């Protein structure tokens, strides 16, 4: 099969443990039966992604530009909230609480269940401990201090989402794992027993306690080793409890399928949307803040419903854009659309359905300021005003429609003759 060539036994002996394992046996047979697997590879919604037209040499010139490079990292200590037991010991008053641990790692407490998305506690997103992108802020708390979780959800097998030391630590617990099709081979290789895996194709669901977890489409790719054979799936995730619903985008480019996901599984009380590590060099596989906000609105049926939590930024330097640009761009996009966003420091829990959510652009204190300084209009207060104004406009429109219905039936009035 063109997309799947097993490594020779000699090469297997040389590959690092972090490369994971290739799917075999019934897992591989199930992959080949998937309607999303064709010509030996998993296919993206909307057709193939475009390949970068720039050479690695030209990219390196951009990435290591001495004038722009300082902007791609914080200029001071990132203000991490050291998550404590007191922060997460009591159940959330509203039934829903999110704690962003940095990058795409989020602890979601939903209707008395605990879900851990894309946990990365390692120091580097790399197969090697001595090279590769290193985190720019510490994890907010040790993994062992997090306490038990009901299910760990993995979006795909890239190193900044599927972290070997983190998974090996979780393998010693009794938590379940919900993963896209094929990714279970890596976890079994690292010590997770098969009976703790819930391995799903797009549109498949599993029940964990009172939660329904559904693997939903995303536009991305996969791979951990020296080859990229596209034989493990990538996914976004919908998680629905008795009272609340959340969505985690994983990594994805923008595509029309967000509307379908929202129509089938939304609206969501909170969306966790990837808005960092984008570039013109790879426009189809990561979203800009503007595209991320468009995806959030699509997921909510076109209305600024719920809260968007921007993820996949601030922790690892993975793209040429300035470090603070994803945060600033999300604030601007929220202001333009009247959407509600949460801007917590890493490690700071918040409740998306509470009256207030974190709205301070905390990164400005440690980021390289743009030419002309930081915008003054797009503050937390301004964002709340914009969201409230949008809500008022919707209420006015609904009231006007209601009055119209009350004041007339739509039938022509009887007018006396003469």
pLDDT at 383 exceeding the cut of 60? no
Summarize the confidence of residues 197-203 as an average pLDDT. Answer: 98
Average pLDDT over residues 215-220: 97
Q: What is the mean pLDDT of residues 114-140?
A: 96
pLDDT at 219: 97
Of 15-29, 100-114, 143-157, 250-264, the least confident: 15-29
Could you identify the residue written with the tokens 């199930």? 30
> Please, which residues bridge with residue 200 across strands?
180
- Residues with Cβ within 8 Å of 398's Cβ and at least 6 positions away in sequence, in order, are none
DSSP string for residues in 320-353: SS-TTHHHHHHHHHHHHHT-EE--PPTT--B-TT
Give pLDDT, residue 305.
92
Task: Give CA torsion, residues 87, 237, 120, 34, to 10 deg.
Answer: 160
Least confident of 23-32, 46-55, 152-161, 304-313: 46-55
pLDDT score at 250: 98
Higher pLDDT: 57 or 383? It is 57
Q: What is the pLDDT of residue 389?
A: 54
Which of the residue ranges 10-14, 62-66, 344-348 would you say has the lowest mean pLDDT?
Answer: 10-14
Residue 225's pLDDT is what? 73
- Residue 384: pLDDT band (50, 70, 90) is low
- As a whole-number percent, the residues of the chain with pLDDT over 70 amount to 83
CA pair distance 375, 326, nearest whole angstrom:
14
- Number of neighbours of residue 340 by Cβ within 10 angstroms: 23
User: The tokens of 320 are what?
Assistant: 């040429």
pLDDT (mean) for 153-181: 97
Mean pLDDT of 21-29: 94
Characterize the bridge pairing of strands 105-110 and 113-117.
antiparallel
- The span from the CA of 302 to the CA of 309, in Å, is 17
Tell me what the mean pLDDT of segment 103-123 comes to. Answer: 98
Angle of helix 380-407 relative to helix 325-337, nearest 10 degrees? 20
pLDDT given for residue 206 in this prediction:
98
Q: Residues 136-160: what's their mean pLDDT?
A: 97
Return phi, psi of residue 144, to 5°. -65, -25
pLDDT at 57: 76
Separation CA 166–CA 308 (nearest Å): 26
Residue-level pLDDT at 7: 44
37: helix, strand or coil: strand
pTM for the whole structure: 0.87
Q: What is the pLDDT of residues 67-103, one digit of tens each?
A: 777 788 999 999 999 999 899 999 999 999 999 999 9
Report pLDDT for 395. 47
Ranked by mean pLDDT, which of 62-66, 219-223, 290-294, 388-392 comes out on top?
A: 290-294
Share of the chain above pLDDT 90, in %: 73
Alpha-helical regions (H) of 44-201: 56-63, 85-88, 164-170, 184-189
């Amino acid at each position: 099969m063109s997309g799947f060539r097993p490594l020779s036994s000699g090469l297997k002996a040389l590959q690092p443990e972090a490369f994971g394992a290739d799917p075999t046996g019934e897992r591989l047979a199930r992959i080949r039966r998937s309607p999303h697997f064709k010509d030996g590879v998993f296919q993206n919604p909307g057709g193939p992604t475009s390949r970068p037209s720039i050479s690695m040499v030209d990219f390196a010139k951009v990435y290591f530009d001495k004038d722009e490079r300082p902007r791609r990292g914080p200029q001071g200590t990132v203000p991490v909230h050291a998550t404590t037991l007191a922060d997460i010991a009591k159940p959330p008053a509203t039934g829903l609480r999110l704690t962003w641990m940095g990058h795409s790692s989020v602890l979601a407490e939903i209707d008395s269940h605990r879900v851990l998305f894309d946990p990365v506690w390692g120091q580097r997103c790399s197969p090697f401990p001595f090279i590769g992108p290193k985190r720019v802020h510490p994890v907010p708390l040790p993994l062992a201090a997090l306490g038990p979780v009901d299910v760990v959800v993995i979006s795909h097998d890239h190193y900044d989402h599927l972290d070997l030391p983190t998974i090996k630590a979780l393998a010693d617990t009794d938590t379940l794992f919900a993963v896209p099709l094929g990714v279970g081979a890596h976890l079994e290789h690292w010590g997770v027993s098969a009976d703790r895996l819930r391995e799903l194709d797009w549109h498949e669901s599993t029940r964990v306690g009172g939660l329904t977890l559904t693997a939903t489409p995303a536009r991305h790719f996969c791979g951990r080793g020296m080859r990229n054979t596209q034989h493990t799936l990538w996914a976004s995730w919908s998680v629905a409890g008795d009272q609340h619903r959340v969505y985690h985008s994983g990594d994805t480019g923008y595509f029309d399928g967000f509307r379908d996901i929202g129509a089938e599984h939304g609206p969501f009380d909170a969306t966790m949307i990837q808005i960092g590590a984008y570039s013109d060099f790879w426009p189809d596989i990561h979203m800009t803040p503007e595209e991320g906000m468009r995806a959030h609105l699509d997921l909510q049926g076109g209305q600024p419903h719920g809260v968007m939590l921007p993820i996949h930024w601030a922790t690892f330097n993975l793209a040429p854009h300035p470090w603070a640009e994803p945060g600033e761009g999300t604030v601007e996009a929220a202001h333009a659309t009247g959407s509600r966003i949460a801007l917590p420091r890493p490690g700071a829990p918040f409740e998306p359905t509470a009256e207030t959510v974190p709205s301070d652009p905390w990164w400005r204190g440690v980021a390289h300021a743009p030419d002309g300084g930081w915008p003054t209009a797009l503050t937390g207060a301004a964002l709340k005003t914009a969201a409230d104004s949008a809500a008022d406009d919707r209420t006015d429109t609904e009231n006007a429609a209601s009055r119209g219905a009350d004041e007339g039936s739509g039938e022509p009035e009887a007018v006396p003759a003469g």
